[in-house]
Amino acid sequence: MQAHKAVMNAPPDTAPHDHPALFSEIGRMLDDGLIIATATGEIQSANTAAVRFLGEGLVGVQLETVFPMKETAEFIQSCGTERTLSFIPDSSVEMEFKVRIRRMEGGQIMVLVLDMTLQRNLEKVRRDFVANVSHELRSPLTSLAGFIETILMNEIRDWPTQHRFLRIMEEESGRMSRLIDDLLSLSRVEVDEHIIPDARVPLMEVVRTVIASLETRADKNNMRIVLDDRRPHNAPRLVMNGKTDEINEVFHNLIENALKYGYADTDVIIS
């Protein structure tokens, strides 16, 4: 990231041909592609990342050939100073790049190629997830509406049937609650994804809290949750950076799944 900033924030009079060692070193440090071309767009050098993204044999090729968009040619012909483009290679590999073009002192052109493939794929996963959850919410909503309408119209008069309907409604509302929790979890992750947590969370205390909250469920399945802590009594506390609620949720989901999918009359052992 620092190398990326050094390249894009370099003053216009920092010409690559005046500082070849500097630009070569920066190119090696970058995870992004770095290309240097003449004022007319002929590529003079390309770092390892650029070759990995765009293929061998870049030196001597015109920028318009590598990035065959009209904006590339317009930039070169108009002697523009800076431009950002989106570039999807014409290949079987699904990749997407952001291309930042900048003209340096003396007319040389510097091109920074950023791989946006992962970000694009994550956005697609997010869209698909939200679409799936929205679809899944329709089923319990429809079910709840149908049962409520039936009860309100007094079509069910005997208590056992009403009780069965109410239990189904309870299960469907719980399902909706879990789906909404999933959406809220996604939103929290998106908000906090660039924030490094600095709170120190004691893991064993979190695990014991989760175990206590799930003991009733374990008893229903005639199961036990066993914390097998074999560390010496004077061992240092196990801690990690994070948020207590999120770490609690991780252990809760893991242990709850063990109770849900494990065999009755067995132990869930945490070691």
Quote the pTM value.
0.47
DSSP string, 192-243: HTTPPP--EEEHHHHHHHHHHHHHHHHHHTT-EEEE---S-TTPPPPEEES-
Instruction: Report d(CA 222, CA 209) in Å as an integer.
Output: 20
pLDDT tens for the chain, 271 residues: list them: 444 555 555 554 455 555 566 666 666 777 888 899 998 899 998 888 888 888 899 999 999 888 888 888 888 888 767 888 878 777 656 788 888 988 887 788 888 888 888 888 778 877 887 777 777 777 778 778 887 877 777 766 777 877 787 888 887 787 788 778 777 777 666 666 556 777 899 999 999 988 988 888 888 889 999 988 888 888 888 898 888 888 888 888 899 889 888 888 899 999 8
- Mapping DSSP to helix (H, G, I), strand (E, B) and coil, where does residue 55 land? coil
Q: Which domains does the chain have, with CATH numbers?
A: 2-115 (3.30.450.20), 119-192 (1.10.287.130), 200-270 (no CATH)
Q: Which residues contact 146 (CB under 8 A, 6 or more apart)?
A: none
pLDDT in tens, 189-239: 666 655 677 789 999 999 998 898 888 888 888 999 998 888 888 888 889
